[in-house]
Amino acid sequence: MRTGIANLPLHYGRAPRWLFSRMELLSRQIILFIIGELGPQALLRKISDPFWFQALGAVLGFDWHSSGLTTTVCGALKAGLKGVEEEVGFFVVGGKGAASRQTPSEIIGWGEKLSFDPQGLVYASRMAAKVDSAGLQDGYQIYHHTFFFTSRGEWAVVQQGMDPTVRMARRYHWLSEGVRDFCCEPHQAICSERVGWALNMVSHKSGEAREVVTSLAGERPEKLLGELKFLQRLDLPTRHKILVGDINPQRLKGIFLSTYERKPRGFEDLLGRKGVGPKTIRALSLISELIYGVAPSFNDPARFSFAHGGKDGHPYPVDRSIYDESISILEEALQKAKLGPALKRDALRRLVGFWEQVDGEV
């Protein structure tokens, strides 16, 4: 359940077709094995762990330290499960770019097919994206969103943003059983190395600021726009980077009018409103500090580093024959698992022995 954040160097490009096709096959066998042995919920927990997810990408043969690991592994998991989702009770929707925007319709499609109410899952997907783009403004623009869920309604999210100015990507992990409040410390663990500025409205230190911002959202638009225009003429202290200059008060007028006419019930309701994005939250947080002296947290939660081994040509390039052999052995292990525990253990011992032999030859 240690969900959190991971930072990776921003790399462009994609996995070659010969490798990705094998990643699909191997990820399929790994998924089926985990679900068969431990159940769908256990797989969600593993996917929501940034350490395990990174290790999975390395096992699948992708560059261990590349931002592309996130999109490629999620794509391989989605493709690998295609056709057996209903059988195993595990589903993957969303993806990179345009595919991420199809997440709600994909969830609704499965809801119609399996006769369950999809709105709770749609809400969870949307709020996870809103929190990591508007609630936590750390300089990373979300461009990838993959949503994993079970037939029992449990879910996990893996999404990623990029900051081209520093050539870094940041990956965010969510797990439904660990979320008590979407808007207060929803990420249980932080695994990253870059320390920078951030407007962190989901920090526990921002509790009072969330209340004031929600209250301000119900004020008359004219009052809020007037305060913003004043802020644009005000010399702010340099203790945090808030970028008043990129906020155009007139563009926010329609959003403020909608929140005034239908006052939000709380910060989560405000954050979930259509049209309420980073600039709206940033503007309201500035006004809350100006009028009431209530400042949100500006601490970037990413403060710790981690590293996992990988195969970016080291210690040796991906060997296609070894990859295919691994897939074959794991497939055999799964087949034998259906015949009894003794045969299953024997197949797994062969898999371990095979990799020990490979390791000794390298």
pLDDT 10s digit of each residue in the chain, 362 long? 335 667 776 777 677 788 888 889 988 988 898 898 889 999 999 899 888 888 888 778 766 567 788 899 999 999 999 999 999 999 999 999 999 999 999 999 999 999 999 999 999 999 999 998 888 888 888 999 999 999 999 999 999 998 888 888 888 999 998 677 888 877 644 444 444 567 888 887 888 888 888 888 888 888 888 877 766 554 544 444 445 555 666 778 888 888 888 988 898 898 899 888 888 887 787 777 766 666 666 655 443 222 222 335 544 456 666 567 666 766 776 676 665 656 656 666 666 665 555 555 54
pLDDT of amino acid 124: 94
| Residue 343 and residue 253 in one domain | no
| Residue 86 and residue 63 in one domain | yes
Please tell me the chain's helix, strand, coil percentages from 3-state DSSP, rounded to the nearest 5: 55, 15, 30
Position 20 in a domain: yes
**Residue for token digits 């797990």?**
175
- Which of 299, 333, 349 is the last residue in one of the domains? 299
Q: 94, 108 in Cβ contact below 8 A?
A: no
Position 126 in a domain: yes
| Residue 130 and residue 269 in one domain | no
Q: Which residues pair with 172 in a beta bridge?
A: 5, 159
Domain that holds residue 223: 205-299
CA nearest 351: which of 317, 322, 314, 321?
Answer: 322
- Which of 173, 196, 219 is the last residue in one of the domains? 196
d(CA 302, CA 198): 10
- Which of 169, 196, 223 is the last residue in one of the domains? 196
Q: Distance of alpha carbon 332 from its chain centroid, rounded?
A: 33
Q: Distance of alpha carbon 79 from its chain centroid, rounded?
A: 18
- Alpha-carbon distances of 174 from 188, 190, 236, 285, 293, rounded to whole Å: 9, 12, 35, 25, 32
| Residue 231 and residue 254 in one domain | yes
Position 324 in a domain: yes
- Alpha-carbon distances of 122 from 68, 143, 149, 271, rounded to whole Å: 26, 18, 11, 15
| Residue 186 and residue 42 in one domain | yes
Position 311 in a domain: no
CA nearest 178: which of 303, 35, 47, 38?
Answer: 47
Say whether the peptide bond before residue 264 is cis (omega within 30 degrees of 0). Answer: no
| Residue 186 and residue 71 in one domain | yes
| Residue 49 and residue 164 in one domain | yes
pLDDT of amino acid 107: 98
| Residue 50 and residue 82 in one domain | yes
| Residue 26 and residue 135 in one domain | yes
Q: 322, 332 in Cβ contact below 8 A?
A: no
Number of compact structural domains in the chain: 3
d(CA 110, CA 286): 41
pLDDT of amino acid 341: 59
Position 277 in a domain: yes
| Residue 217 and residue 250 in one domain | yes
| Residue 126 and residue 249 in one domain | no
Note the pTM of the prediction, 2 decimals: 0.72
**Residue for token digits 């990174």?**
54
Position 312 in a domain: no
Position 352 in a domain: yes
Cβ neighbours around 218 below 10 Å, total: 14
| Residue 79 and residue 39 in one domain | yes
Position 304 in a domain: no
Q: Phi and psi dihedrals of 6, rounded to 5? A: -130, 140
Q: Phi and psi dihedrals of 92, rounded to 5? A: -130, 125
